[in-house]
Amino acid sequence: MTEEIKQFITYLEDEKKMSKNTIISYRRDLMQMAEYLETQGICELEKVTTTSLNSYILYQEKEGKAATTISRSVASMKAFFYYVYMQKKTTDNPAEPLKAPRIERKMPDILTTEEVHRLLRQPSGTTAKELRDRAMLELMYATGLRVSELITLPVQDINMSVGFLTCRDEKRERVVPFGKSVKNVLARYLDGGRSVLLKGEESPLLFVNCNGKPMSRQGFWKILKYYGEQAKLPIAITPHTLRHSFAAHLLNSGADIHVVQAMMGHAGIASTQMYAALGKKTEEPKEQKTIEKTDG
């Protein structure tokens, strides 16, 4: 079975062009499955049954694996056995009937509009660092960018004259507009902050760290945590807190849900619908609720 797993991974790399992290996850999930099946005396593909795969799922549950981990494992098994079935290496697909465990998670925390404005006012100085920090916070809240998108955003993908940015990933790109206030803070950063941080060097990135190098996720996280503490916010915020707040506030102000979906880069509308309920809570005390996880 190990050989077939290697062939499947090669297929994902060469044909599907999947990301490195996704490949690593598939390989790990499938090798752990194969190891378990071998302990049950199942070493050949044709001996694998739906019952044996369900037995492996139960084993993971008894081992205390998180529902998200088991769900990902089920997805890996489904993809692998569909592949070998289509390659005619098996006469049936034992993974087809498998069901992933239901995943529940807390409703994400969001800030009220007043809390967001208090946060954005924290980097109020004129040093290069504060100009950059203000521009990063304003742009993230105004566009709903993911932190990975923010720290890798090239200067050439910002259109200052019209007021929009182009966000690209492996599968698609989206255009996200931003308003005059964001344009102003970006202009101040570009005119008086970015060149100071670069120290005579060049970089294609819009935002760099204090050494003129690409900023890390952890670096931005620390910046956000610092200003959140300075603003005396009632919750510990993360980069995703601003993204969640952006979507909820837009929907609460009457924005079309399909427009918000496009701006967020959600593949399905279900991920965006969650924020419609959150938007109604933006000015109310925060409560902990649970929702069924969506695909976004």
Per the annotation, the verdict on 171 as an active-site residue is yes
DSSP string of 81-129?
HHHHHHTTSSSS-TTTT--PPP-EEEPPP---HHHHHHHHTS--S-SHH
- Rounded CA Rg of the chain: 23
Mode of pairing for the β-strands spanning 164-168 and 104-106 = unpaired
**From 88, 102, 171, 232, the catalytic residue:** 171
**From 132, 194, 243, 249, the catalytic residue:** 243
Q: Return the sign of the alpha-carbon dihedral for residues 251, 153, 295, 174.
A: positive
On whether the CB atoms of residues 261 and 237 are closer than 8 A, the answer is: no
On whether the CB atoms of residues 206 and 152 are closer than 8 A, the answer is: no
**The amino acid at 3:** E
Distance CA 90, CA 87 (A): 8
Q: Which residue has the tokens 């915020």?
A: 237
Per the annotation, the verdict on 266 as an active-site residue is yes
Per the annotation, the verdict on 72 as an active-site residue is no
**From 132, 183, 244, 266, the catalytic residue:** 266
On whether the CB atoms of residues 77 and 98 are closer than 8 A, the answer is: yes
Distance CA 209, CA 280 (A): 37
Distance CA 254, CA 258 (A): 12
Per the annotation, the verdict on 132 as an active-site residue is no
Q: Which residue has the tokens 């940015």?
A: 165
- 3: three-class secondary structure by DSSP: helix
On whether the CB atoms of residues 246 and 279 are closer than 8 A, the answer is: no
Per DSSP, 155 falls in state: G
Which residues are known catalytic residues?
Answer: 171, 243, 266, 275
